[in-house]
Amino acid sequence: MRSLKHTLALILFFTTTTQAQNYQRTPLGAKVQAGSTDVEIQFFDPSTVRVLKSPAGKTFKKESLSVIKKPQATKLAISRKADILSLKSNSLTVNVDLKSGAIAYSSPAGQALLAEKEEGASFVPFDDAGSQAYTVTQSFRLDKDEAIYGLGQQQRGKLSLRGAKINMVQGNTDDFVPFLVSTRGYGLFWDNYSPTLFEDKEENTSFKSDIGDCIDYYFMLGGSLDGSIARMRSLTGQAPMFPLWTFGFWQSKERYKTQDELVGVVRKYRELGVPLDGIIQDWQYWGNNYQWNAMEFLNPDFYDPKKMISDIHQMNARMAISIWASFGPKTKQYRELEKINALYNFSTWPESGVEKWPPNKDYPSGVRVYDPFNPAAREIYWKYLNKGIFSLGMDAWWMDSTEPDNFDNKPSHTYLGSYQKVRNAFPLMSVGGVYDNQRAVSSDKRVFILTRSAFAGQQRYGANTWSGDVNSSWQTLRNQIPAGLNFSLSAIPYWNSDIGGFFAGSYNQTWNDGSGPQNPAFRELYVRWLQFAAFTPMMRSHGTDVPREIYQFGKKGEPIYDAIEKSIHLRYSLLPYIYSAAWDITSSQSTMMRALVMDFNDKKVINMNHEYMFGKSILVAPVVNAQYTPETLVKSTAETGWNKNANSSSKAVPVNFTEPKSTTVYLPRGTAWYDFWTNEKIAGGQEIEKRTTIDEIPLYIKAGSILPTGPQVQFATEKKWDHLEIRVYPGANGEFSLYEDENDNYNYEKGAFSTILFKWDDKGKTLTIGARKGSFPGMLATRRFTIVYMGNDRKVSREVTYDGKMRKVSL
């Protein structure tokens, strides 16, 4: 009997021990060995979980390039029932199948959110340039009715990612961020930097990365699309404030060839009285291709760069300049970077030292891309940028080819291993190097970077990403809206595109007695693109083949010129609204360019590609189809686009730009809407036919909105906001917080700013102007507000003096 008891005790001991060894509690969660896979669950906070998976027994060290948040102590209840290990915070439940290693996520109330597919993780070993690595895959099961968005910018022309197959490798016009958000209220960040295939099929949704030491992803529960974006920014960094002047109008082209030409453009805008805040100098100010990106004005046509910048500043404008991630063999940077083995081997732009098209390969340029993953290389990069350009008073950086151009895919090594292993994170590191170094030497001028590519976490580096060298075509314009929306849904809030498209060679043929900016087909496309751009985070005109300055399109009193000027003035009138929306991004993790699905519970907007909210009050429905001229399909790439002999099939037709047209607009349900132009009130939940003209696109204001408008100016800071019009759109309660600071510098981080909260009580028809909070040097002590009640039943206007104390205005 004693022997039997002893045997039973041993069996119980070994069984308990075996079960206990299946998982181990850790300070952040738990480690599990499921078959041949090690699984670790780390709670970064009650709503954010990191999952690491690797072949059993394989040790590795992974430090994220994107994630900067440190895990915080999280109270967890950990229990086991049969083969399911449960980890519960007060916000999230994570269940791990101890047999398969599959993980399922649910709310504390038991609502299923996302589940890995059983046997959905795989590791295929291979040799990565002398180091052992894996091709890693993780599959998930999505609910058939949920919608997902994000993954950066794609030129697919679609908003929803359901059914998509996307090969995520950074390119000229595709910027990939492996973060998606779901209408079920969660976000998913796949923390891998190598080329990655995302595929959503009926049976599973998967990420498959070419190279990884492990599977590494983050699940975050935000409760909404906005909430999930906020979680991602908490994980990877918050977006700083841009200077007010970056939200004005910017003029550019490929390229201004002399100092006098560049300064002359700003002077011409001032003479015409057309607002302008920025001018951009594109490439080759450094001279020939062997001196590529020398970060000095070696081109003799830029004879006095310090005076050039000073002349622009004296006209109250700012200047940005093109810099690249590559260097010619005759530059100082090349020689210094070569000494520390910080130059890549693959072929990049420009391929020839001869500045003619097509490239003459008999005279190779020798240009090589530098290694931004190397801290010493980033310091070298900034040393020359600071000395050669920033010290002259340059205001902003146009960082081109930050993906970068890679023409032959030759194997290259970086400071962190093979180039392929970290390829997609190149823009994060190159942009971050400039931001960190400029902030280290100056706090008087906010960093502003215009860049061609992006990766997860880049929002923390003061960068606005543009959509690359896209075509000048109507289809490309249509593609830009879902491209910008998905990029914004990837937690990076600042995005823009080349107004009119970059490659416009097909419009240089003579048509209707005009070519280039006189070609009616290009004129219509340009105006509609510019009207769209007025409602993006940066309004910037740029391209090759066809000049884009307003005076190229005619003169005041002519329909196209007047339409361009009207849109620019409209942009400036909205600066108080836009700058306050920027503060909402910085302080509350908001998003400026908003897919309708973010704000409306309406099935019809789940995959709406051609409308969006700009801020939380303005619905924008750009005109994205030709109404006056034939719509010509134009296709080109970075290779073919430089061929100036392109032509189109446009034929001469009568064009009357004064003729009214119409387009259809869908107004989301759940609110009433006001036509911005006519103030007509319209019920939501319906498609309407909207009359349009060449100088107007459909704009609608949501009921309950409070919309501030500013004075007419020639540049953003010309006039103080001492007399703003505050428009109140009745039909619902609403509020708006007006943000102000010194417009530049980083004193706002120390509390040097103010906010004024406006609250509308729709039932009582009363607007409360709250007591001002905060202060900053130069703040207005008193000011006037003209309050305008925008109800279409009656129009009431009240002028009030405001001294910072609460006021109630009855309307």
Give domain limits for the chain: 26-141+186-221, 244-447, 616-623+659-692+697-811
* Annotation says 400 is catalytic: yes
Paired tokens of 503: 């490659």
Closest by Cα among 744, 793, 741, 746 to 765: 793
pTM, to two decimals: 0.95
pLDDT at 16: 36
Residues 6 or more apart whose Cβ sits within 8 Å of residue 272: 550, 551, 556
Partner residues linked to 333 by β-bridges: none
Distance between CA 733 and CA 297 in Å, rounded? Answer: 56
Q: What angle do CA 115, 119, 120 make, to 5 degrees?
A: 55
Distance between CA 810 and CA 434 in Å, rounded? Answer: 51
Q: Which member of 311, 469, 562, 740 is catalytic?
A: 469
Instruction: Answer left, alpha or beta for residue 500, where phi above 0 means left and psi between -120 and 50 means alpha.
Output: left
Q: Which member of 400, 405, 545, 696 is catalytic?
A: 400
The answer to whether residues 709 and 732 touch, using CB atoms and an 8 Å cutoff, is no
Partner residues linked to 399 by β-bridges: 323, 451
The CB-side HSE value for 167 (13 A sphere, CA atoms) comes to 2
Paired tokens of 264: 């002359």
pLDDT at 385: 98
pLDDT at 12: 34
pLDDT at 61: 85
* Annotation says 210 is catalytic: no
> H or E segment at 429?
helix 426-441
Instruction: Answer left, alpha or beta for residue 200, where phi above 0 means left and psi between -120 and 50 means alpha.
Output: beta
Distance between CA 703 and CA 672 in Å, rounded? Answer: 5
pLDDT tens-digit profile of 465-509? 999 999 999 999 999 999 999 999 999 999 999 999 999 988 887
E strands, 129-263, in order: 131-141, 148-150, 165-168, 179-182, 186-190, 196-200, 205-212, 215-221, 249-251
* Cis before 807? omega within 30: no
Determine phi and psi for 336, rounding to 5 degrees: -75, -40
| 616-623+659-692+697-811 has the same fold as 26-141+186-221 | yes
End-to-end CA distance of the chain: 93
Closest by Cα among 30, 32, 16 to 98: 32
Sign (positive/negative) of CA torsion 62, 66, 70, 75?
negative
CATH of domain 616-623+659-692+697-811: 2.60.40.1180
Residue length of the chain: 811
pLDDT at 639: 63
Sign (positive/negative) of CA torsion 703, 708, 710, 716?
negative
The answer to whether residues 754 and 775 touch, using CB atoms and an 8 Å cutoff, is yes
- Cα distances from 111 to residues 82, 115, 222, in angstroms, run 21, 12, 14
Pairing of strands 84-88, 77-81: antiparallel
pLDDT at 8: 35
Residues 6 or more apart whose Cβ sits within 8 Å of residue 594: 485, 488, 612, 613, 614, 615, 616
Three-state DSSP state, 420: helix
The answer to whether residues 331 and 365 touch, using CB atoms and an 8 Å cutoff, is no
Distance between CA 452 and CA 26 in Å, rounded? Answer: 41
E strands, 164-251, in order: 165-168, 179-182, 186-190, 196-200, 205-212, 215-221, 249-251
Tell me the helix, strand and coil percentages in the chain, rounded to 5: 25, 30, 45
Pairing of strands 112-128, 103-106: antiparallel
Q: Which member of 38, 45, 254, 403 is catalytic?
A: 403
Consecutive sets of 10 residues in the chain, 811 residues long: mean pLDDT of each? 40 37 90 95 98 92 95 96 97 97 95 95 94 96 96 97 98 97 98 98 96 97 98 98 98 97 98 98 97 98 98 98 98 98 96 88 96 98 98 98 93 95 98 98 96 98 98 96 98 98 86 78 97 98 96 98 98 98 98 98 97 98 96 69 52 86 98 97 98 98 98 98 98 98 98 98 98 98 98 89 98 94
Q: Say which CATH topology domain 244-447 has.
A: TIM Barrel (3.20.20)
Domain 26-141+186-221 CATH superfamily? glycosyl hydrolase (family 31) (2.60.40.1760)
* Annotation says 744 is catalytic: no
- Cα distances from 61 to residues 71, 134, 751, in angstroms, run 16, 14, 39
Closest by Cα among 37, 109, 103, 47 to 72: 47
